Amino acid sequence: MAHTFNLITIDIKENFQTNFSGGVVVGNEVIFAPAEYNEIGIFNTDTLNFRTIDITNDIKNVDGIKFSGAVVVGEKVIFVPYNADNIGVYDVKTNTFTESTQVIPTMSAKFSGASAIGNKVIFAPYRAEEVGIYDVTTDVYESITTKGIVQSGVILYSGITLLKNNVILSPQQAGVICVYNNTNKELYFSTPINEKPYAFSGACTIGNKVIFAPYNSNSIGMYDIGETNIYSNFKPEDQKTKTFMETNEKFNGAVSVGNKVIFIPNSTKYVGVFELNKSSEKDSKTNLNLILGLSIGLGIPILVIIILLIIKDPANVIYVKKFT
C-alpha cells in the first residue's frame, strides 16, 4: 500500500495570503494559529469538520501575520508571536483567548514555531536575535541571545519540533536541517538537502521521523532521527495533487495524529492529510552526513568536519555552540 494524500476544502469568510500559520493537536482536534485571519481555526480529525473562533475584539491591532505556530501546555494553547507584540493564549477549557502582558521583542517577524518542554515554551527565532522562553505557569518570558551564533537578517528556519530530546528546526532559506540537543546543549547541522528556497515551514514527528510541511517545496520532507539520520522526500504522483504541489506558499505548519500528518493551509483553501506507510519508508532515501563548522569572530569557519552522526551516541557530537 502506497502513501495517501487528500485535500479537504474548508469554509472561511476571507482568504488572505496567510490565513493560518501553525497548529497543535488537542484531543481529536487541531487548533490553527490565526495569522492574518482574525479567527482561530479548529479542524476535527475524525469528522473532518472545520470551525472557527472569532478573536477580533480580544487582540490588539496587528499589521499582517499575528502568530506563527502553536503549542499546548496543559489546557492552554500558546500562539507564537510573529508580528504580534504579545504572546497569544487560548484556554481550551473556557474557550477564551487572551494575550500575555510580558514584554517581548517588538520587531516584526520575530518568531516562527515553538516546542513545549514541561511548562515552558521555546520560541524558534525567525528574524529575532534570541531564542524565546515562556513559562506558561508563571507568565514569565526570558531569552537566550543568538548574536554571534547565526547570521542576522536572514530567514533561516520556520517551525520547530521535539524528538528524543532533540529540537529540530524546519529549514526555509537555510538549506540545511538544524538540530539542537537539549541534553548536551549542542547544535549541529546537516549537509544541504537540495530543496527549493523557502522549502518548508513547520514540522512534526511520527516515530523516528520528522515530517517537514512543504511551503515552496514540491515534496514532503522526511528526516529519520533513528539509527541512521537519513533525509528523504515524498512526491505525490496523481496529476491533480502533483500540479497543486508545484505551487508556492502551500502550507504553514504540520501536526501528527496517529500515522497521519495534517498540513496547515497557508494561501490555500486545502488542508493536507499525509498518511505515512511504514512499509515503504526505505524508498528514495539518501544518506545525510553532518557538517559541523566551529566558528569565531564574525562566524568565519575555521574547522569543517564531515561525519555521520549517530544521535543515540552523544560522544559522536562535536558542538558548535554550547548554552549553559
How would DSSP label each residue in 113-181?
Answer: EEEEETTEEEEEESS-SEEEEEETTTTEEEEEE-TTTS-TTS--EEEEEEETTEEEEEESSS-S-EEEE
Contact, 182 vs 117, CB < 8 A?
A: yes
Sign of CA dihedral 67, 70, 74, 76: positive
Q: How far is residue 52 from each of residues 7, 61, 102, 266, measured CA to CA in Å?
A: 19, 19, 27, 16
Beta bridge partners of 6: 273
Decide if 208 is inside a domain. yes
Average pLDDT over residues 202-209: 90
Write the CB contacts of 258 (distance below 8 Å, at least 6 apart in sequence).
none
Beta strands 186-190 and 130-135 are: unpaired
Decide if 323 is inside a domain. no
pLDDT top residue among 184 and 169 = 169
Decide if 131 is inside a domain. yes
Decide if 321 is inside a domain. no
Closest CA to 255 of 271, 244, 241: 271
Residues 146 and 104: their CA atoms lie apart, in Å, by 15
**Which phi-psi region, left, alpha or beta, contains residue 193 (left: φ > 0; alpha: ψ -120 to 50)?**
alpha
Average pLDDT over residues 101-116: 88
For the chain, how big is the Rg over CA atoms in Å?
Answer: 19
Closest CA to 77 of 88, 62, 65, 66: 88
pLDDT value for 318: 23
Q: What is the pLDDT of residues 118-137, one digit of tens each?
A: 788 888 878 887 778 899 99
pLDDT value for 45: 92
pLDDT top residue among 28 and 179 = 28
Give 243's DSSP letter.
H
Give 226's DSSP letter.
S
Q: How many H-runs (helices) and E-runs (strands) does the chain carry?
A: 1, 27
Least confident range of 10-24, 66-80, 208-222: 10-24
Decide if 32 is inside a domain. yes
pLDDT value for 310: 25
pLDDT value for 219: 92
pLDDT value for 69: 87
For residue 307, pLDDT over 60 is answered with no
Q: How many domains does the chain have?
A: 1
Decide if 118 is inside a domain. yes
For residue 287, pLDDT over 60 is answered with no
pLDDT top residue among 164 and 290 = 164
For residue 312, pLDDT over 50 is answered with no
Decide if 99 is inside a domain. yes
State pTM to two decimals. Answer: 0.62
- Residue 46 sits in a domain whose CATH number is 2.130.10.10
Q: pLDDT tier at 217 (50, 70, 90 boundaries)?
A: very high
Q: pLDDT tier at 185 (50, 70, 90 boundaries)?
A: low
* Largest Cα–Cα separation, the chain: 55
Burial 265-294 (b: 16+ CB within 10 A, else e): bbbbebbbbbebeeeebeeeeeebebebee
Decide if 322 is inside a domain. no
Q: What is the pLDDT of residues 23-56, one digit of tens each?
A: 899 999 999 999 999 999 999 999 999 999 999 9
Average pLDDT over residues 93-118: 89
User: Judging by beta carbons within 10 Å of its beta carbon (0-12, 13-18, 19+), is residue 13 exposed, middle or buried?
Assistant: exposed
Q: What is the pLDDT of residues 232-279, one digit of tens each?
A: 888 887 888 888 899 999 998 898 998 899 999 998 888 899 988 765
**Domain range holding 42?**
4-316
For residue 150, pLDDT over 70 is answered with no
